[in-house]
């Protein structure tokens, strides 16, 4: 124990560094100002997460409890306040962010929220033989079948389904949320057609369409099936 106490005492180094922080300038009414914050957050959720934020209260005259309430309101919106300026020190308690002075205006580096990269187009599948009854074909992209799809078979595709033959089984296109996927076939005798979760069974398909080339697509949440020529 003595050995630890006698360990070489290292001086604590302190340096001054300056950082750039977003500064919020609330205006009265505070409730209205918070609503504006919410609108901004609605457009880019999480924009302020992890970013240092300073509250400039010079435009308002808030009591101690009002300041505490404001800081809490911002924390509820995942905005963490680093410091507060433009207010009398006496109004800040030790629980609140510290008082900052000497802030200078500067340019903010334009910090766009990361653009969602366009997902790479998933691979499509080409089958050059008929799909037999009982077979289940799964693909994240488009599926093209050079042949018929047998009764009792099913094709589940993230993209569109093209059948150069009779479609007698089930075809489920756009399963990953792709509402613009379509189903094409040379002869429609399908048991079930589904696009992005909206489905029609054989009973609901207009009998006038049977045995003709057809395509199925989604208009809103209604599946439309029309002849192809």
**DSSP codes joined into one string, 118-175:** PPPPPPPEEE-SPBPTT-EEEESS-EEESS-B-TT-EEEESS-EEEEEEE-SEEEE-T
Length of the chain: 229
Kindly identify the residues of this chain, within the stretch 164-223, that bind another protein according to CB under 8 A. 166, 168
Q: For another protein, what does the binding mask look like between residues 28 and 67, x meaning CB under 8 A?
A: ----------------------------------------
In the bound state with another protein, the residue whose beta carbon lies nearer, of 38 and 128, is 128
Binding another protein by CB under 8 A: which of 152, 206, 227, 228?
152
- Identified binder of another protein from the candidate list 148, 160, 178, 200, rule CB under 8 A: 148
How many of the chain's residues bind another protein (CB under 8 A)? 15
Does 147 help bind another protein (rule: CB under 8 A)? yes
CA distance 152 to 42: 47
What are the DSSP calls for 48-101, one per residue? TTT--EEEE-TTS---HHHHHHHHHHHHHTT--EEEEESS-GGG--TTSPPB--
111 vs 129, beta carbon nearer another protein = 129
Phi and psi, residue 85, nearest 5°: -130, 170
* Calpha distance 164→148 (Å, rounded): 7
Nearer to another protein, 63 or 129 (CB): 129
Residue span 95-134 as binding mask against another protein, x where in contact by CB under 8 A, dash where not: ----------------------------------xxxxxx
Report the distance separating Cα 137 and Cα 183, nearest Å.
Answer: 15
Rounded least distance, CB 129 to another protein, Å: 8
For another protein, the binding residue among 64, 135, 144, 186 (CB under 8 A) is: 135
Of 66-74, 88-96, 104-112, 144-152, the window that binds another protein (rule: CB under 8 A) is 144-152
Asked whether 45 and 116 are in contact (CB, 8 A), the reply is: no
* Interacting residues with another protein (CB under 8 A): 129-135, 147-148, 150-153, 166, 168
């Amino acid at each position: 124990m003595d050995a630890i106490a006698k360990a070489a005492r290292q001086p604590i180094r302190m340096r001054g560094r300056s950082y750039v922080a977003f500064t919020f300038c609330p205006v009265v009414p505070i409730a209205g100002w918070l609503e504006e914050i919410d609108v901004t957050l609605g457009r880019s959720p999480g924009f302020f997460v992890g970013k240092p934020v300073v509250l400039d209260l010079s435009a308002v005259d808030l009591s101690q409890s009002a300041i505490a309430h404001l800081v809490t309101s911002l924390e509820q919106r995942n905005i963490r306040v680093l410091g507060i300026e433009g207010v009398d020190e006496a109004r800040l308690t030790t629980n609140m962010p510290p008082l900052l002075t000497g802030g200078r205006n500067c340019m903010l580096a334009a910090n766009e929220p990361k653009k969602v990269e366009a997902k790479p187009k998933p691979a499509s599948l080409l089958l050059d033989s008929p799909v037999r009854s009982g077979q289940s074909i799964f693909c994240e992209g488009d599926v093209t079948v050079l042949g018929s799809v047998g009764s009792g078979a099913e094709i589940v595709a993230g993209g569109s389904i093209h059948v150069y033959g009779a479609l007698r089984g089930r075809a489920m296109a756009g399963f990953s949320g792709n509402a613009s996927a379509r189903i094409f076939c040379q002869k429609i005798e399908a048991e079930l057609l589904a696009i992005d979760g909206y489905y029609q069974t054989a009973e609901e398909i207009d009998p006038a369409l049977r045995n003709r080339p057809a395509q199925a697509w989604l208009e809103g949440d209604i599946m439309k099936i029309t002849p192809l020529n």
